[in-house]
């Protein structure tokens, strides 16, 4: 995010040796000038000596969209089915992507952050519709609607009226290092040093959707306040370690930090790339200077690899448990997170349905309703979704590409996701779904998994053995 001209296979004695893939050279490439200072031209990709049809398809897509590096994994409810890695983790040193390469996962991080908060929810530490102010220890109000509380549910559904503008955007675009130092309270209360009324939208909390990275930063802060642990340490102790994930919101804690992928953005001509993030140049990253959650970017700062993200999403697919003995969430909590909490039309139709920081989409793969999240930041583009019906899930991470033709996903995302689902999708089942409902309940049960509803269930008899289920 390569070419069908792959040549003949090598003899078995040479199996496993890495070859250079010979790519066709376009007229633009043939006459291309040296890249600007600090930019790198994509060299030919490498691939195994005996590439599979799947390898060829993915590499062809990478060539088309000039993907710098790609790591991908496919899983079902029982196991990891496949994983693959292609391209470059660092263009300056010709370091390739491998199965252990760690990526800054951008907004895929939000699923981890929400899971951390919901672990505390199921322990009875707060209610989803509670005022967050009483847990933070100071009052947060939209100054235009000072009598309306801001709740946990609103933060997790991007309906809190706390938006990505005002103080957050000013600091992020001007002096991002400040986020490593300041107390988030100073951005949220009127007498705070960095307070800006523009942090709040011109609508009441709970009435509109506005995608908010800053809101997820507050979620991370709530994890700290309620648990008593630093946000990054909480996630390590209660999510990453139980799932045996090589992951952290603190880059300096990554054991194989030398294998973190550099992130890249293309130049205006879309022919060369400059590093934008995680370009450590052989020096171990230094720890964040602040213990506050915002310093670890709960909205986008997770570092992990594709196979470990697959472990995490597999747990959600299985109702909070993996391998019949490791549980990080109760089934009802996982189901609640995946159930629609908001619906509408936002970000040019990218968001139409939202759970509790889980995205519900019909747009990534034709004919598939998927649950998970996407991510894009600093050139990283990635997706982690599963199909509740077929129990198949995918994760893929790209550290740079020509991100074009968004409708609403970028074309490269659609191409990779479709390739993976087409290759690994199980045979369609004709077995009818088992649906159970009780009048007045706040959920229905489909194949033993709950779908939580915003209003209670109504059941109307439409025939001798037929019933209609609706919401009041």
Report residue 28's pLDDT band, with 50, 70 and 90 as the boundaries: very low
Instruction: Write the pLDDT tens digit of every residue in 387-446.
Output: 999 999 999 999 999 998 999 999 999 999 999 999 999 887 666 766 777 777 777 777
Residues 6+ apart with CB under 8 A from 454: 340, 341, 471
Q: Summarize pLDDT for 47-90 with one digit per residue, the tens.
A: 878 999 999 999 999 999 999 999 999 999 999 999 999 999 99
Does the pLDDT value for residue 265 go beyond 60? Answer: yes
Place of tokens 């043939």: 30
Given this model, what pLDDT does residue 25 score? 38
User: pLDDT grade, residue 13 (50/70/90)?
Assistant: very low
Query: What is the predicted pLDDT for the residue at 11?
Result: 31
Query: What share of the chain in percent tops pLDDT 70?
Result: 88
Q: How confident is the model at residue 14 (pLDDT cuts 50, 70, 90)?
A: very low
Reported as a single tens digit per residue, the pLDDT across 83-115 is 999 999 999 999 999 999 999 999 999 999 999
- Mean residue pLDDT of the chain comes to 89
pLDDT at 324: 72
pLDDT (tens digit, 9 = 90+) per residue, 118-167? 999 999 999 999 999 999 999 999 999 999 999 999 999 999 999 999 88
Residue appearing with tokens 């054991």: 255
């Amino acid at each position: 995010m390569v070419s069908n001209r792959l040549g003949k296979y090598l003899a078995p004695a040479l199996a496993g040796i890495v070859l250079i893939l010979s790519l066709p050279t376009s007229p633009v490439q043939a006459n291309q000038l040296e890249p600007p200072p600090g930019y790198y031209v994509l060299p030919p990709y490498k691939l195994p000596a005996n590439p599979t049809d799947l390898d060829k398809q993915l590499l062809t897509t990478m060539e088309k969209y000039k993907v710098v590096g790609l790591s991908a994994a496919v899983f079902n409810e029982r196991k990891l089915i496949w994983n693959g890695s292609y391209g470059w983790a660092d263009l300056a040193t010709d370091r390739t992507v491998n199965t252990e390469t760690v990526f800054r996962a951008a907004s895929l991080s939000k699923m981890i952050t929400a899971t951390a908060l919901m672990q505390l929810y199921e322990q009875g530490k707060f209610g989803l519709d509670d005022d967050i102010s009483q847990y933070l220890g100071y009052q947060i109000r939209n100054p235009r609607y000072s009598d309306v509380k801001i709740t946990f549910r609103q933060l997790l559904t991007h309906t809190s009226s706390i938006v990505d503008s005002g103080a957050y955007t000013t600091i992020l675009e001007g002096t991002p290092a400040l986020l490593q130092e300041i107390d988030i309270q100073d951005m949220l209360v009127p007498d705070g040093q960095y307070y800006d009324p523009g942090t709040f939208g011109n609508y009441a909390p709970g009435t509109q959707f506005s995608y908010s990275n800053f809101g997820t930063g507050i979620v991370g802060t709530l994890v700290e306040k309620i648990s008593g642990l630093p946000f990054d340490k909480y996630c390590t102790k209660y999510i990453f370690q139980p799932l045996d994930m090589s992951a952290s919101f603190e880059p300096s804690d990554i054991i194989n930090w030398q294998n973190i992928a550099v992130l890249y953005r293309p130049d205006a001509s879309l022919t060369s790339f400059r590093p934008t993030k995680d370009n450590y140049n052989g020096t171990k990253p230094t720890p964040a200077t602040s213990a506050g959650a915002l310093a670890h970017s709960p909205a986008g700062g997770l570092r992990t690899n594709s196979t470990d993200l697959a472990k995490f999403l597999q747990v959600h697919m299985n109702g909070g448990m993996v391998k019949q003995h490791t549980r990080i969430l109760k089934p009802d909590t996982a189901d609640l997170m995946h159930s629609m909490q908001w619906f509408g039309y936002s970000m040019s139709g990218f968001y139409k349905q939202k759970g509790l920081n889980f995205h519900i989409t019909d747009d990534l793969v034709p004919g598939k309703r998927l649950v998970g999240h996407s991510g894009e930041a600093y050139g990283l583009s990635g997706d982690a979704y599963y199909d509740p019906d077929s129990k198949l899930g995918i994760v893929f991470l790209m550290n740079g590409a020509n991100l074009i033709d968004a409708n609403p996903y970028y074309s490269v995302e659609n191409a990779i996701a479709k390739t993976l689902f087409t290759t690994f999708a199980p045979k369609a089942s004709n077995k009818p779904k088992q649906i159970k409902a009780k009048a007045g309940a706040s959920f229905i049960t489909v194949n033993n998994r709950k779908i939580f509803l915003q209003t209670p269930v109504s059941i109307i008899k439409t025939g001798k053995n037929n019933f209609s289920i609706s919401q009041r």
